């Protein structure tokens, strides 16, 4: 059976996922698209060989009987509305990160999904599907390098668009490390601290780039995340876990390292699309297979909620220059 997908938000990642759902993932086709910029949605639709219906609103798309499941790739503040509408329609929803931009909005989604009595939402934290992160977790889980003590992480972007604000370093960029730390250590974050190193001369006035974020996990592991979003040289995501008797780290380069004439070189990816292309493919295939089988998989609304609560605390830590403890509601049984 082919799963008919409706995509809300036809910007950069929306187009990326439309291509993926049409040409990479098996068992899916895009039958409808929508964007607040209808001209963009129409232009995207017109380029596809199997032209989808262009809906004037996301709500209309969700209610379209030719849409079995919904992918939300519009701007973060619009996610809540579409995820709630998808749940109300009883349709599976894949929502790009963030699940929603405030704790309260995430709680409304949790409440709606709990009332529906089944998981209908999957959040796009694609790093969980990245081969290197998965191998890192496997190595650590085997136990032969001892218990984890610390993780050093770096998240470097070559540049960011003009609408990207200081707060987004935390809730748009470091949100990935927040999710990966929770997943990697099967643990919640207990507290967050944010330090502001010397500001890069490449960062515009009032823009705190880079940041150093410290995540204290409930079990005692400490994760430091360097986030630098005007680093220019490429898209560089790094991670090393220090255990009691060994370490495990992500590879320096996605391709081969070439040693020649007393030097060595490797490729630095240009952006998230290149670095995580395979992870996105695997993520969507897993989601499509699960939805086709009448269920869902992947990061849940609870994971989306936990990440947003940690981001809120991170923003408070940035403003107050203090360590901020993280307090969450009890985990509902649906997400046990």
Site string for ligand ISE, 124-153 (x = CB under 6 A): ------------------------------
* Residue 174 interface partner, choices ligand ISE, ligand NAD, none, CB cut-off 5-8 Å depending on type: none
Q: Residue from 24, 36, 89, 190 that binds ligand NAD (CB under 6 A)?
A: 36
Give the torsion through C-alpha atoms of 6, 9, 15, 17, to 10 deg.
-50
Residues 229-288 that bind ligand NAD (CB under 6 A): 272
For position 173 contacting ligand ISE by CB under 6 A, the verdict is: yes
d(CA 308, CA 25): 29
Q: Strand 236-243 vs strand 148-156: parallel, antiparallel, or unpaired? A: antiparallel
For position 94 contacting ligand NAD by CB under 6 A, the verdict is: no
Q: Which is nearer to ligand NAD, 97 or 119 (CB)?
A: 97
For position 8 contacting ligand NAD by CB under 6 A, the verdict is: yes
Residue of closest CB approach to ligand NAD: 11
# binding residues, ligand NAD (CB under 6 A):
24
d(CA 292, CA 280): 18
d(CA 8, CA 54): 10
Q: Residue from 6, 52, 58, 298 that binds ligand NAD (CB under 6 A)?
A: 58
Smallest gap from residue 311 Cβ to ligand ISE (A): 12
d(CA 30, CA 53): 9
Segment (H or E) for 236: strand 236-243
d(CA 300, CA 109): 11
- The three-class DSSP label of residue 260 is strand
Tokens of 43: 């232009």
Q: Residue from 113, 130, 172, 177 that binds ligand ISE (CB under 6 A)?
A: 172
Q: Which residues bind ligand ISE (CB under 6 A)?
A: 157, 172-173, 176, 272
């Amino acid at each position: 059976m082919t799963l008919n997908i409706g995509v809300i938000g036809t910007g950069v990642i929306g187009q990326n996922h439309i291509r993926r759902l049409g040409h990479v993932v098996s068992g899916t086709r895009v039958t409808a698209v929508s964007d607040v910029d209808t001209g963009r949605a129409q232009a995207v639709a017109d380029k596809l060989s199997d032209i989808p219906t262009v809906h004037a609103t996301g709500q209309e798309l969700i209610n379209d009987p030719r849409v079995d499941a919904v992918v939300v790739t519009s701007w973060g503040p619009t996610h809540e509305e579409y995820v709630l509408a998808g749940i109300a329609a009883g349709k599976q929803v894949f929502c790009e990160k963030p699940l929603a931009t405030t704790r309260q909005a995430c709680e409304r989604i949790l409440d709606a999904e709990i009332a529906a009595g089944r998981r209908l939402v999957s959040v796009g934290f694609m790093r969980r599907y990245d081969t290197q992160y998965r191998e890192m977790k496997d190595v650590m889980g085997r136990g032969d390098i001892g218990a984890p003590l610390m993780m050093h992480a770096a998240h470097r972007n070559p540049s960011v668009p003009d609408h990207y604000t200081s707060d987004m370093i935390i809730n748009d960029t470091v949100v990935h490390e927040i999710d990966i730390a929770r997943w990697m250590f099967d643990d919640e974050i207990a507290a967050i601290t944010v330090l502001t190193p010397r500001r890069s001369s490449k960062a515009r006035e009032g823009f705190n780039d880079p940041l150093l974020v410290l995540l204290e996990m409930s079990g005692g592991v400490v994760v430091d995340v360097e986030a630098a979003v005007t680093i220019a040289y490429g898209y560089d995501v790094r991670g090393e876990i220090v255990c009691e008797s060994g370490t495990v780290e992500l590879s320096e380069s996605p391709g081969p390292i070439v040693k020649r004439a007393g030097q060595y070189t490797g490729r630095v990816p240009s952006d998230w699309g290149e670095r995580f292309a395979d992870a996105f493919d695997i993520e969507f295939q897993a989601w499509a297979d699960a939805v086709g089988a009448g269920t869902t998989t992947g990061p849940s609304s609870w994971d989306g909620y936990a990440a947003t609560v940690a981001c809120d605390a991170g923003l408070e830590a940035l403003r107050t220059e203090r360590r901020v403890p993280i307090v969450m509601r009890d985990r509902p049984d649906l997400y046990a």
